[in-house]
Structure 1
Amino acid sequence: MSVMIGLDMGRILLDLSDEVIKRLDDLKVQRNLPRAELLREAVEQYLERQSNTTISNALGLWQGCEEDGVEYQRKLREEW
């Protein structure tokens, strides 16, 4: 759950299908949380997952390259 005390917050308008709103309301009852808190939590989780995915996609990028990484770096710096 987010800690909201002392945080500046903006507002957004979000259009959701009736089915999604119904599912959100069911979750609201189940977890006893307001819709807004559930949506904040979902957005935070989504953004965290996206940043982790970006990092994961970059790991191992150099794997399988024939060129030495340090030599490649030197060539790039010579272009400066």
Structure 2
Amino acid sequence: MLMTFEDAMGRILLDLSDEAIRRLDHLKQRRNLPRAELLREAIEQYLDRQNQDVVQRAQGLWGEGVEDGLEYERKLREEW
């Protein structure tokens, strides 16, 4: 079997509370997927969300109401 770089996986030991394991097992039954697959999916989603948070924080004060950069520059220059 040919294994590509993307297929290579490492192992990690993870301690979870009994409650988390119970909930994971419930989800495992509902979705008919192994625990490992559910955990991989959850970790990928978490990492993606962390990357999105970094980008949003980098936008600083602009936030949701992004103003055109050129228009903002013109307003600033009018103050000179």
Give TM-score scaled by structure 1 length.
0.68
User: One-letter code of the match for 1:43?
Assistant: I
Runs of at least 5 residues in structure 2 that lack an aligned partner in the other structure: 64-72, 74-80
Larger helix share, 1 or 2? 2
- Does the residue aligned with 2:60 lie in a helix, a strand or coil? coil
Q: CA offset at residue 54 of structure 1?
A: 0.2
Higher relative contact order (CA closer than 8 Å, sequence separation 6+): 1
Runs of 4+ in 1 over 4 A off after TM superposition: none
User: One-letter code of the match for 1:41?
Assistant: E
Rounded Cα–Cα distance in structure 2 between residues aligned with 1:60 and 1:19: 38
Rounded Cα–Cα distance in structure 1 between residues aligned with 2:37 and 2:62: 41
Does 1:36 pair with 2:36? yes
**C-alpha RMSD over aligned residues:** 2.0
Runs of at least 5 residues in structure 1 that lack an aligned partner in the other structure: 69-80
Aligned residues: 60
Q: CA offset at residue 9 of structure 1?
A: 0.2
- Does the residue aligned with 1:9 lie in a helix, a strand or coil? coil
